[in-house]
Structure formats: C-alpha cells, structure tokens
Chains A and B, each alone.
Chain A
C-alpha cells in the first residue's frame, strides 16, 4: 500500500432538474504520511469528495481505495483506521468534553485514552465543562479530538478552521501538525489559502467539481511565473490602462485587473518596479497606492479561474 487514498474518475451527480454534478471526475493519489489539502471555493465539490472518501456518501461512479481497502467490502476495517471531523457537527450540548471523547473512544477497538486526547488538543481546563459552554475554537478542537481518539492512520478534516478567530486557527494548525508529525496522513479541505500553504505538503485546487491544479504550494506558486505580486491603483484623474501595455514590461509575467486595482505577477521586483513607474510617469499617469508581496495560492486561484476564493465563499452555496 503506497497510497493512503487513491481514487479514479470519481463522479457524484445529485438527481434533480437539472441534475447537479457536484464532482466531475476527480483523480487523487494521497501518499502515506503527507498532509494533503483540497483547496477551493464553497460549492466546488470539496465536501462531497470528502464524504465519498469517508464512506458517508456513495459515488455515482469511479473507484475509491482508502488505506488499501474498499468501501462496501471492508467498511469496518476502514472506519477503525480513519478519523473524521465533519464540517458542522453539533455534538451533544449537555455532555462534558471528557464524556463526549470517551463515548467516541468506545466505538474503536484500539485508541488513545480520553485524558491523553484532551491534553493533545489543549482542553485540559475544559475536561468537565458541558459542550454547550465551549467557544467556537474549543468546540472545533473537541471535534478534532473525537476524530483522533481512535488513533487513526488517516484523518479527514472538513474545513477545520472556518469561522474561527486567528488564535484558534493557529492552535488547530499546531494540533494538526503534531498529529501529522507521527507519519500519519491528513486530508483536509479549506477555502483559506494561508491554511493550505502552512499545513499542506501538497494541494489540489478544486473548482466546479474538478481538479484544476495539483502540486506543493511552492510549485503551484512557481507556476505563476513570478513569485512576487505588485499591486497598485491609479489616481482618479489618470487616463485608463489597457492590459497589453503592462504585460510588455520587463519581468512582468501576467496581469490581472481587479476593479480599480491592478495585480502584476513578476519574477524580479527590482527589475519590474522601475519599469512600471517609468511607464506610468512617461504616459502621464499617477499612482495612488503601491504594494509588493509574495504570491500566494490565492493568486494561483485567481490566475487559473479569474475569480477569488473568498468572493465565492461570501456568496455561498444556494
């Protein structure tokens, strides 16, 4: 078994008028020991893909192999070896943290003692608190605790930090990293590019039920051609720009317009910047705002689809 997860031509169509093709032919090979991210906007098919791999949903077609086992034949073997945190599970309000984890522990033949799991997710002080009293971040850590209490070889995390404050997100990242450090496999979905960049060894960018890019975050960014981004806007009274004019400048690899602002992906900022400033000045335009930064997976998504990850997230699924 070289792959923790292997799926071929995975498809899921929900019946309806018209039928909804949530997943349209996904190929995945997740290596043992890696942290693999499914990155994409809401409604891209990430959760559907996850739930098929978790054995909660049946695929319309395609083959799935999890830890060398097959759903429908080795269900108990898979469930004993994988851990799961769903997107929105509300655990029982009136059970304590320890009672909840103990309950989940009882479902697995082998596992970690509840108190040790509580320590791993940093909920020692909340051991005897009712679930309803926990903050969002604490609830999410409890959900992850329920996922790892069976000491799984493979952990599925669906949007583990959505809606959490920055500190809670960092705490969860630490927990996930610590779990992965033991040579275990993690598959997570996220629509946060910073999360994917920090946690994932490899990322599959998913849009409209298909994988549109696959590789390590660094590789994907390198494929943009330039690892730096120059963002600027023009002063209100400046004459408008045309894409082609900027793309001809030295070291500029691609140009993306975003409302009033412009984003240039450039290989060498020290070459591109003077050229851009020169060009604007000589053509009688004035710059209002200028920033440079490293390219992120967000820029990769924008370059591939022409849309932002978060815009989609804000619009949400129907």
Chain B
C-alpha cells in the first residue's frame, strides 16, 4: 500500500485553527468583545473641546443676577432647582456645584461642593473665577496641548491589545488544554506515536496565528474609527505583540499543566488575570498605585507588555529603549514554559 506522507505538526495546527473558527462564541470573545469595549470606552471618554460644568443655583436672593454671569460662558450649564432637591442632585453627581444665593452682593453667595469628586472641585475653581475675578486683570496666556496620542482612546487601545493578548494566551492555551484533558483527548493522543513536542508546539503556533488577527483587527478599528496611529515602528510593534503573546501562552501552559477539571482551570485563570485587569494599567495608568506597590506592579507581565506597547505606539520609542520590559516578558515566557513542560500532566 503506497502511503502518502503526512506532516503531523501541520495537521495539528490546522485542526486547532479549524476548531477555533467553527466556534462562534470564541470568535465573539476574541474579536467582537474587544471591539465593543474599545467603541464604548472610546465614545464615553472622547475628547470634548468644551467641558461642561453643571451648576445649580438656588436660594431666595438674586438668583437671576448670578445666573446671568455664567450664561455668558459656554462651559457652564445652569440649573435652577427647588431647595429640597439640590442636596440629592449634588450627592448623586447630577450637578457639580450648588450656589446658594440669599440676597444681593458677594457676601450672600455660598458654595456647596462635593470634596471627593474632581469635577466638583473643578467647578468650585471655575465658578470662583467667574464670580470674583477682577475683570481689569490681564488673562494668563494658555496654549492647549493638542497632539495626537493624548486622548483616552490613544491610551486605552494599547492596553486593550495587552488585555486581549493575556486573555488569548490563557483561554487559548490554558483552557483549551484542560478541556482536552477532561475529554481524555490528551490521553488518546499520548497513545499514538505523536510527538508531544509537536502537539504543544501546535497549540502555541495556532495561538500566535490567532493573535495576529486579533491585534490587526483592533489596530484597523482604532485607525479608522478613532484615528489612533502608531508613532513607532510597526515591525517593532509586531515584535512586542509576539513577545507578549509568547509570555501569556507560557503562563497559560503553566496554569493548565496540572488542572484536571474545568472548574479548577477557570478559578486559576481568574486568579491570574484579575489582579492584572486592575493593576497593570489597562484602563488607567499603573503609576497611580502607591510607590511601595510599584516593584510588584511593574513585574507583572501585563504591565510590562502595556508599557512596551504604549512606549512604541504613543511615544514612538524603539524596543532598545524599552529593554527592561522586554527582559521581563522574556523571563515570564521562558520560566513559565520550562516549569510547565516539566510538570505537564497528559492523562
């Protein structure tokens, strides 16, 4: 019998890719969900040229006279409400500042603010400026910074790419492997002459292939919908993406190496991902955490990846300038792979 020759690694990769693209839910979580998130947050935090400040003016005094001073300025939205309602409105953040006017003249004006809300503090400052600044004094000259890459979406998109690479690595490697173990497919493969390295390599390579699609979709979306551009070199960006993908594939493999049930792997994955969702500077800068936390936060793979992606996309830096982050990711990738391969359970 003439035997055709087959290439097991190629077959294994093809099988993974077909399985993935035939699973509509997987497609949604990998491609659809990040796009929706980028769209929602991009719209919510879009750069608005005139920031709106809501001020309630209440009281028995010269309410109209005070309101008139604000009406000239487009930044303010003036609401005149009944006495009972303004406390609730201020509490719930519907208004930024309440001005109580009990008579005529500066001495009859009182401010009520919300000390823990930044918007409220800003409103105090702005209202103070309008009501009490001497019109004869010269205005300070202010030049607005309006360069590309300074909007929230510019900051958020690289973080979202990082988040997606993390989710992809953990789900696409960790969850998939445990699912195969639960189904006894790993055991079945073990009973064939298949090389184990071929199998693991196929899982990794197919993961990298999905990653490419994943990142390209986000970049194209960001470019056309929000005009997000990469200031740095696209090849270096690609290298950073592959590096991040490798680190998270390694971590996925590590998380999956012993788990024997879907419940265990789901728990472990949340344990790994949740701290990074919060701490790694996806939605806001990781520098906001106190100094004593910084060494830990910076050692997290997602923090390093986000710094790498932002360094290239926003600041136009080269990989050489971001060497610490590159080293952190390389360490995560190699150490997790080495440990995972040593302890991997096939049965």
Contacts and interface: CB of A to CB of B under 8 A. Distances in A.
Contacts of A76: 193
B161 to A, nearest CB: 27
B184 A89 contact: yes
A80 B191 CA distance: 10
A99 to B, nearest CB: 7
Interface stretch (B5-13, B229-237, B268-276, B299-307): B5-13
Interface stretch (B18-26, B28-36, B40-48, B278-286): B18-26
Contacts of A112: 1
Contacts of B3: 109-111
B94 interface: no
B183 interface: yes
Contact of B15 (A79, A92, A110): A92
Contacts of A94: 18-19, 22-23
Contacts of B19: 92-95
B12 A103 contact: yes
Nearest to B190: A56
Given A76-B193, A79-B193, A90 B8 contact: no
A154 to B, nearest CB: 12
A130 B3 CA distance: 26
B193 A107 contact: yes
Contact of B193 (A86, A88, A103, A108): A108
A95 to B, nearest CB: 6
Contact of A54 (B4, B184, B191, B194): B191
Contacts of A88: 184
A109 B18 CA distance: 24
Interface in B135-173: none
A106 B7 contact: yes
Interface residues of A, number: 33
B194 A107 contact: yes
A91 interface: yes
A103 B12 CA distance: 7
Contacts of B12: 103, 106
B185 A92 contact: yes
Interface residues of B, number: 26
A56 B347 contact: yes
A130 B22 contact: yes
Contact of A103 (B11, B22, B347): B11
A150 interface: yes
Contact of A91 (B8, B185, B190): B185
Nearest to A57: B347
B192 A86 contact: no
Nearest to B195: A107
Contacts of B71: none
A192 interface: no
Contacts of A107: 8, 189, 192-194
A93 B176 CA distance: 13
A151 B4 CA distance: 13
Interface string A97-135: 001001111111111110000000000000000100000
A86 B18 contact: no
Contacts of B6: 102, 105-106
B188 interface: yes
Interface string A123-167: 000000010000000000000001000110000000000000000
Nearest to B20: A94
A99 B6 CA distance: 13
A234 to B, nearest CB: 49
Contacts of A113: 4
A89 B15 contact: no
Nearest to B347: A56
Contacts of B194: 107
B187 interface: yes
Contacts of A105: 6
B226 to A, nearest CB: 35
B192 A108 contact: yes
A6 B11 CA distance: 35
Nearest to B9: A106
Contacts of B4: 113
Contacts of B190: 56
Interface in A188-244: none
A77 to B, nearest CB: 9
Q: 5 smallest A-B Cβ distances: which pairs?
A: A106-B6, A94-B22, A90-B183, A106-B11, A79-B193
Interface of A: 54-56, 76, 79-80, 84, 86, 88-95, 99, 102-113, 130, 146, 150-151
Given A84-B192, A109-B3, 16 more contacts: A56-B187, A56-B190, A76-B193, A79-B191, A84-B188, A86-B191, A89-B183, A89-B184, A89-B187, A89-B188, A95-B15, A103-B15, A105-B6, A108-B192, A109-B193, A112-B1
9 contacts: A79-B193, A86-B191, A91-B183, A94-B22, A105-B6, A108-B193, A110-B1, A112-B1, A146-B188
